[in-house]
């Protein structure tokens, strides 16, 4: 599959929707799903600073081990958030921040890849490949974001 992360996200969405439909999500799981939806909403804002703040807040919440979120794999979510923060930092011209989020996104992706491999699933339709370049990371996020209206990307000027 050309874009394995998209396959994972689609599978994740199906699990969440199926769980919601059955009414089987507990309070903590509903909170996790709501926070993920808020992160996506903030990321799509036309104000890039709202996007940064929303992603940073969600990342801090997901990174806290006291916040159980059995519905989502922490490393896959941290990858998703850090990859987007990488793009935003690049857009803002913050090369040090962009580099940091690039490295952290790759590390989270590698941990998630190792987790998937540890499952030893006989029919892995979603083979994750290592991320080897910033261009590859940009392409993965662009592919995922084609399903969303990311408002800040449409704004020509970025605040300084």
Report residue 65: phi and psi, to 5°. -65, -15
Residue 90 vs residues 3, 58, 71, 72: alpha-carbon distances, Å: 22, 20, 30, 27
What is the C-alpha to C-alpha distance for residues 21 and 31, in angstroms, rounded to an integer?
A: 16
Average pLDDT over residues 4-11: 45
Residues composing the chain: 160
Instruction: Note the pLDDT of residue 59.
Output: 92
Q: Does residue 72 lie within any of the structural domains?
A: yes
Q: Which two tokens stand for residue 52?
A: 């940064």
Place of tokens 């940073």: 56
Instruction: State yes or no: pLDDT of 37 exceeds 50.
Output: yes
More confident residue, 29 or 103: 103
Domain count, the chain: 1
Q: Does residue 157 lie within any of the structural domains?
A: no
Q: Does residue 83 lie within any of the structural domains?
A: yes
Give the domain range for residue 104. 4-152
Q: Does residue 105 lie within any of the structural domains?
A: yes
Q: Does residue 158 lie within any of the structural domains?
A: no
**pLDDT tens-digit series, residues 72-116:** 788 989 999 999 999 999 999 999 999 999 999 999 999 988 888
What is the C-alpha to C-alpha distance for residues 67 and 61, in angstroms, rounded to an integer?
A: 7
Of 22-26, 36-40, 76-80, the least confident: 22-26
Distance of alpha carbon 88 from the chain centroid: 13
Q: Does residue 69 lie within any of the structural domains?
A: yes
- Average predicted confidence (pLDDT) for the chain: 79
Cβ(70)–Cβ(121) below 8 Å: no
The total of other beta-carbon atoms located within 10 Å of residue 10's CB is 13
Burial environment of residue 82 by CB neighbours within 10 A (0 to 12, 13 to 18, 19 or more): buried
Cβ(8)–Cβ(76) below 8 Å: yes
Q: Taking the model in full, what pTM does it have?
A: 0.76
Within 64-126, residue ranges assigned H as helices are 74-92, 95-118
């Amino acid at each position: 599959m050309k874009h394995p992360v998209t396959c994972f996200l689609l599978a994740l969405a199906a699990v969440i929707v199926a769980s919601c439909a059955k009414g089987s999500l507990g309070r903590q799981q509903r909170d996790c799903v709501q926070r993920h939806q808020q992160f996506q909403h903030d990321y799509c804002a036309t104000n890039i600073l709202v996007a940064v703040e929303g992603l940073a807040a969600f990342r801090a919440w997901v990174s806290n081990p006291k916040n159980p979120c059995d519905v989502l794999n922490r490393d896959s979510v941290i990858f998703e958030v850090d990859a987007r923060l990488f793009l935003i930092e690049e857009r803002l011209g913050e090369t040090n921040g962009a580099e940091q989020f690039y490295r952290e996104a790759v590390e989270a992706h590698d941990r998630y890849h190792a987790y998937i491999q540890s499952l030893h699933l006989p029919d892995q339709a979603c083979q994750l490949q290592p991320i080897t370049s910033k261009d590859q990371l940009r392409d993965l996020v662009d592919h995922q974001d084609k399903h969303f209206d990311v408002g800040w990307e449409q704004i020509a000027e970025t605040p300084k």
